Structure 1
Amino acid sequence: MLTIRKKYGIVLGTIFILSVIAFNLIMDKFFDKEFEDFIRNDMKDIYYISSKNLEDYIALNSIEKSSININDFDNKMIRFVIERVNTQGIFYDINGNIISTAITNEKVIDLNILKDLPPSFEEAKNNKTMLDIESKNGSILGKLSVPIYRNYNEQIGTLVLIKDYSDNYIRNINIKRLVNIIVLILFLAIFICIYFIASNIIKPIILLKNKLLEISTGTYPEKIENKSNDEIGVLIDSFNNMSERIKNKDEKEKSIFRNITHELKTPLTNISGYAQILNEDGFNDDEFKRNALNRIISESNRMHELVISLLDISKQSSDLKEYSFEAVNIKNIIEDLISIKYPKIIEKNLNIISKINKEIINGNKQYLTMLFSNLIDNGIKYSYENTDIKIETKEIEEYFQFSILTKGKRIPIEFKDKIFEPFVRVGEKGFSSKDSNGLGLYICKNIVLGHRGNIEVVLNNDKSKFIVNLPKD
C-alpha cells in the first residue's frame, strides 16, 4: 500500500524531474538564441568594417567602381579587407569557383572548409547578404555571404567572410552548464526542504491514523501532544476531544450495562425464589403466599419501570439531534402534571406553591413533559410529609427557567454532581433508595442537553432546588 508520504514523494519527485528537464530545454533554447544573436551582431559589425575596408582599398588603388572586374579581387585585396576584422575571406565568382582567399590565421580554421560553398550562396546572388552558422569538424563557423556588384545590377561574385566562434561556443556551453548545475542544486535543495516540511506535516496525520486504528480495536490511546496552532493542531485537539468523549461514552455504556445486569438480577432472583417456594408440593401457608405474590408483582413492576426507562434513554439517544421542535406552552404542561399527580400530593399532605407564568418556548413537547414530570415526581417522592413544594417559572434574558424547591431527604454534597449519572440513587445515607431505578435525573439531563440547555441542583441541608434553563428559541 502506498502511504501518503510515498505518494507525496513520488509526485514531488516527478515534478522535480519534469521541472529540471523543462528548465534545461528552456535554457538550451535561450542560450542557443543568445549565441546566434551574438554571431549575427558580430558579423554585422564585421560586414560594415569590411565594406569600409573594401572602399578604402578601391580608393587607394585608384580602381573605378564601374569598371571593377573579377580579377581585381585577388588575394591581396581580400587580405586588406579582412585584416582588421580577424576573419577568413574567400571570393567566389557567380558560378561558385574560388577566385581568391585570405587566411589571417591558418591554425584557427581548417583550410578544407574553404572548398565548401555556404548553404545560402545561391540566395546571395539575389542581392541578399546572407549569414550561415555551421558546425564543421567540431568548429562553429559564421559565414557571411556578401554579393559584389560592378554596377547596381551586375553581380561579379560573392565575398564570403568566415569567422570561427568555437571558443565563444565553448564559453557559452560552460556558462549554460554552470547555470544548470546551480539551478539543479537549488531545485534539489527546494525539493529536500519541501519533502521534509511535508513529512513533518504528514507525520501527525500518520500518528492520527495509527491512533484511530487503536480506537477501532476498542483501545483508547493517550492524548496526542499538540505543538502547533495551525489546522493540524486543530485536528489533533479535535481528535483528542473525540477520543476522550468516545472513551467516556464507552465507559458509561459499560457502567450502564453492569448496572442493568445488577438491577435485573435482583428482582429476577426474588421472583425465581418466591416462585420455587410456591411451587413446592404441600405448601399451604396462605399468609406467605399472599406476601410472595405481592412481592412478585412488586418486583415485576420494578423491572417494567426499569425497561421503560431504558427504552426512553435509547429513544433519546437516537432522537437527540432529530428533535421535532414546536411552540410549547410550558404553563399548560406543568399545571396538567400537578393535576395528574394530585392524589400523591394529597397522600403526603403536601402544599404546592406555584408561580407559573405563561411561557412559550421552542421545544419538543413530549420530552419536555417527561422532563417536568420526572422533576415533579422526584419532588413529591422525596419530600417530607406536611411540607411545601415551590414550583416557579420565569424568564432570564433569552432563557426560560424552571425551578422546583423541596424539603426532604438530604442529598450529600459529595453526590451533587453525580446524581445526574445513570443508576445513581441517593437516600439519607447515600446511594440506597429503593424507590427509584436511578435513571430519572439522567433522562432529565439528556432532555435538557437535547434542548441546548443546562440543569443543576442547589443544596442547603435538607432543602434541594433543581433549576432548569432552556433557550426560548
Structure 2
Amino acid sequence: MGCRIQNGSLWRVTMNKITVKLIKYFAFIIALIIALCLIVSSVFLSKFYLESQYNVLESSAKEVYESLITGDLITDINISAVLIKDSSITPLTHGKMGVIPFLRSATTNDFETKGIFKNGMGTEFLYYKLSTNIGDIVVFQNNNYSSNYLNVVYIVLFFIFISAVILSIPLISFIGRKFTKPILELEKVASSISKGDFDVECSVETNDEIETLSNSLMKMAGDLKKKYQLQRDFIANVSHDFKTPLSVIRSYSEAISDGLLDDTSTIHYADEMIKEVDRLNALVMDLLQLSKLQDGAYSLNKELIILSDLVENCVNQFKPIMNKKGISIITSIEPLQINADRRSLQRVLYNFIDNAIKFSYEDSKIEIYTSDKKNSIKLSVKDYGRGIESHLLDEIWDKYYKNSESGGMGLGLPICREILKMHDFEYGAASSTKSGTEFYFFIPKDSILSNKG
C-alpha cells in the first residue's frame, strides 16, 4: 500500500471506533443466536426430547405386556411399572423411584395416555399408560433426566457464548485494523485532493470494492488536476482575448478624444472599435450559451428538418472563404427528414465545417457525407489538412481547451458537445497528421422520420 498516514492519533481513534463497533455488532449477533437457540431448545428441543422419552416408555410398556403374556421375568427394564385393574394396583417391577407408595389409592381414570405425575414429595415422573386385555400397564420414569438434559444444553450454550465473545475480541481487532487501514489511507488522499494537492499516490491492493474505490479516487485526482490546469489556461486565454480588444478600443478612443484624427481616420477607427466590440460580444455570448446548455436552462425546439438542405445552407455560408483558399466541398447527404432543433444543429455543422476549413491546406477538399450504420445514420465532416495529434483528441471537447493554431477561446466544440448530448446524438472525432480529421455524430434511426423523395 503506497499511502502514508502521518497522523497516528487519528489512525488509532478511527481504528478504535470501528473496532469497537465491530465487536459490539459481533457480540450482538452472537447473543441473538444464543437467545434463539435457548428459545428453540426450550420450546422445540424439550418437546422433542419429551416425545422421545414417551416413545421409550411406550416401548417399555409393550415389553412389560409381552413379558406378562409369556410369563417371563421382567429384569432388564430400568423403569417402574404397575398394573391397574379394577382399582387394584399391582407393582410389576422393583423400581427405586419412590412412586409405588403414592399409587395405592390411584385408579386407571387418574392417568391419561401419557403425561407427568408428581408424587407427594414433589418429584415429577413421566408416565405412559398402555391399555391391554389384562388391565392398564403404567410405566414411570423420573423427569429429572429431562430437566438435567436441558440444563446441560443451557450451560453448553452459555459457555459457547462466553468463548465466542472472548475469542472474537482479538479476531475483530485484527479484522478492524485490516479493514480500517486502507480506508484511512483513502481518507488521507481525499483530504489532500480537497486541499488542491492532486499529486497523490495511493495503491491499495485489497482485491475488493475498496481497491476499486482507490482506483476511482486516483482517476478523479488525475481528472481534477487536468481540469484545474485547463481552468488556469482558460483564465489566461480569457484575460488575453478580452485584454487585446479592450486595449485597441481604449487606444482608438483616446486618439479620437484628443482630436488627433481627421474625419476619414475617425470613421476608420470607429469601425475598428465596433469590430472589437462585436468580438467581445461574441465571446460573452458563447460563454453564456455554454453555461445555459450545461445548466439545462436551454430547451430544444425540435422540428422536421431535411438534412441535405441543412448541410447545403451551412456550406453556402463558407463559399467566400473556400474560394479564397481554393477549397472545394463535396457533399453526399441522404435526403433524410429528421426531428431536431434546426438552429442548434446548424451551429454544430457550422463549427465542424469552420474547423475543417481552418485546418485544411489550400487547394484541398472537404467531404461531408452520411453513412448507414446498424441503428443510426452517421454524418461526417472530413478534411485532408494538418490533422490533430492523437493525445489532443479528448481535450478538444473540453470548454477550457484552446488550440494555438485555430485561435479563439475554444468554446465551439464544447457547445457542439452539449447540443449533441441534448439530442442524444453520439459524437466523436478521428484524426491523423497524415490523413486529416473527421468530425462526426450519429443520428439514431428513431429520430429519422422518412427519406425525402
Q: Would the TM-score normalized by the shorter structure come out above 0.5?
A: yes
For the residues of structure 2 that align with 1:320 and 1:456, how far apart are their CA atoms? 31
**Cα displacement (A) at 1:454:** 0.9
**Counterpart position of 2:6:** none
**Counterpart position of 2:431:** 457
For the residues of structure 2 that align with 1:343 and 1:33, how far apart are their CA atoms? 100
Counterpart residue type for residue 142 of structure 1 = F
Where 1:23 maps in the other structure, the secondary structure is: helix
Task: Kindly indicate whether residue 281 of structure 2 is the aligned counterpart of residue 304 of structure 1.
Answer: yes
**Counterpart position of 2:53:** 38
**Cα displacement (A) at 1:268:** 2.0
Where 2:110 maps in the other structure, the secondary structure is: coil
Residue correspondence of structure 1 range 13-52 to structure 2 within 5 A: 13-29=27-43, 30-31=45-46, 34=49, 38=53, 41=56, 45=60
Q: 1:142 aligns with which of 102, 120, 125?
A: 125
1:441–1:47: structure 2 CA closer, same or farther, 3 Å change rule?
Answer: closer
**Counterpart position of 1:439:** 411
1:186–1:415: structure 2 CA closer, same or farther, 3 Å change rule?
Answer: closer
For the residues of structure 2 that align with 1:276 and 1:332, how far apart are their CA atoms? 48
For the residues of structure 1 that align with 2:371 and 2:187, how far apart are their CA atoms? 48
Q: 1:262 aligns with which of 237, 240, 256?
A: 240
User: What percentage of aligned pairs have identical amino acids?
Assistant: 20
1:237–1:449: structure 2 CA closer, same or farther, 3 Å change rule?
Answer: farther
Task: Kindly indicate whether residue 442 of structure 2 is the aligned counterpart of residue 470 of structure 1.
Answer: yes
Deviations 1:64-122 (A, max 9, x none): xxxx999xx9xxxx9xx57733344655xxxxxxxxxxxxxxxxxxxxxxxxx67xx87
**Counterpart position of 1:352:** 328
Where 1:85 maps in the other structure, the secondary structure is: coil
Task: Kindly indicate whether residue 257 of structure 2 is the aligned counterpart of residue 279 of structure 1.
Answer: yes
Deviation larger for 250-259 or 308-317:
250-259
1:389–1:443: structure 2 CA closer, same or farther, 3 Å change rule?
Answer: farther
For the residues of structure 2 that align with 1:35 and 1:344, how far apart are their CA atoms? 103
The answer to whether the Cα contact below 8 Å between 2:326 and 2:364 also exists between their aligned partners in 1 is yes
Counterpart residue type for residue 30 of structure 2 = F
The answer to whether the Cα contact below 8 Å between 1:404 and 1:467 also exists between their aligned partners in 2 is yes
Counterpart residue type for residue 39 of structure 2 = L
Structure 1 residue runs of 5 or longer lacking an equivalent are 58-67, 92-116, 147-151, 153-159
**Counterpart position of 2:76:** none
The answer to whether the Cα contact below 8 Å between 2:234 and 2:401 also exists between their aligned partners in 1 is no
**Cα displacement (A) at 1:452:** 0.9
Residue correspondence of structure 1 range 128-277 to structure 2 within 5 A: 128-129=110-111, 132-134=116-118, 140-142=123-125, 168=145, 172=149, 175-177=152-154, 179-181=156-158, 184=161, 222=200, 225=203, 227=205, 244-245=222-223, 248-277=226-255
Structure 2 residue runs of 5 or longer lacking an equivalent are 1-16, 74-85, 130-134, 446-453
Counterpart residue type for residue 452 of structure 1 = E
**Cα displacement (A) at 1:40:** 8.7
Deviation larger for 179-188 or 268-277:
179-188
CA RMSD of aligned residues (A): 5.5
- TM-score of the aligned structures, taking structure 2 as reference length: 0.63
Where 1:402 maps in the other structure, the secondary structure is: strand
Counterpart residue type for residue 402 of structure 1 = S
For the residues of structure 2 that align with 1:40 and 1:383, how far apart are their CA atoms? 100
Q: Report the number of matched residues.
A: 401
Deviations 1:433-459 (A, max 9, x none): 66x444334444555566212123343
